[in-house]
Amino acid sequence: MELSASVKLARTESGLEYFDVNGPLCQAKIYLQGAQITEFIPAGQKNLLWVSEDETYLEGQSIRGGIPICWPWFGVHAEPDWPAHGFARKQVWRAERVEEDESAIRIVLSLPMVSIDRTFWPHESSLTVEFVLSDQLEVKLTNTNTGSETFSLTQALHTYFPTPAIAQTRVDGLQGAQYIEFGEGPFTQDEVVTFARETDMVYTQAPEVQIIETPDGKIEVGREHSSSCVLWNPWIEKSKRLSNFRDDEYHTMLCLEAANVMDDAVTLAPGESHTLTTKICWLQ
């Protein structure tokens, strides 16, 4: 596979391979493990993604930050021994192509289905992710049913965003959506969301665009082919229990995740495809 002028293949000290992108429009890092982007810096601006300072980048462990891909289920499975958030974020994906022109760099990865334990996923399908890197970041996760039987799945692009101060951060654009939190609800979101405690809200009927207002600026977060999203901050006590996460890092991050969960789950008949998309950028 040919790389472009702005894209190199690099490796961490721990052995994980990643695409190191250094182009005129942005810088980025995309790991083959998990097909996970951990850095996206538009030219002249700050990083749009957050990664824990305790992250170790070890083989077989999901990276705490960036955009983990939760697939083919979101959250805890009904089978208690199955991995939370599915298995895609720990698998090594295959690089399919790298393209670059004046408008963007495009990197496409696919999940090798032959490496998947069919106990977890017995269906015939394909899964690809495309990263479109310009002055904004666009991530497209495409499922295709290549078999003869209909199946359903839930999924999320679990985006970690940075903030210098979570207590001074707000999320606008969820008003009118329904949400469930800690198994209770549904409730209606009436106001702009602020943070003063652990937050774990799963939204349905959500508008397609939200604005994260931080002391460093405003981040626009858009979704396509998704009417559900997840807003998360672990706050004080849960931060102490998380792996690869410093006790005080809840001050500096939040997750706003494009999703297909609950009533928004994806059902694909044979031959059908579905693409979950998120788009993020700094607002000027």
In a domain, 1, yes or no: no
Confidence of residue 80 (pLDDT cuts 50, 70, 90): confident
The sign of the dihedral angle between the CA atoms of 52, 98, 142, 210 is positive
The sign of the dihedral angle between the CA atoms of 65, 68, 74, 80 is negative
CA pair distance 42, 28, nearest whole angstrom:
9
Order of all β-strands in the sheet with 17-22 = 7-11, 17-22, 26-31, 36-42
Predicted local confidence at residue 96, as pLDDT: 97
Instruction: Note the pLDDT tens digit of each residue in 131-156.
Output: 999 999 999 999 999 999 999 999 99
CA pair distance 96, 217, nearest whole angstrom:
35
Q: Count of domains in the chain?
A: 1
In a domain, 25, yes or no: yes
Q: Which domain holds residue 125?
A: 7-283
CA pair distance 240, 250, nearest whole angstrom:
10
CA pair distance 283, 262, nearest whole angstrom:
31
In a domain, 201, yes or no: yes
Instruction: Note the pLDDT tens digit of each residue in 224-266.
Output: 999 999 999 999 999 999 999 999 999 999 999 999 999 999 9
218: pLDDT strictly greater than 90: yes
Active site residues: 158, 257
CA pair distance 169, 216, nearest whole angstrom:
10
**Has this prediction a pTM greater than 0.95?**
yes
Predicted local confidence at residue 284, as pLDDT: 67
In a domain, 221, yes or no: yes
In a domain, 83, yes or no: yes
CATH code where residue 130 lies: 2.70.98.10
In a domain, 227, yes or no: yes
Predicted local confidence at residue 2, as pLDDT: 81
Share in percent of the chain as helix, strand, coil (round to 5): 5, 45, 45
In a domain, 2, yes or no: no
In a domain, 29, yes or no: yes
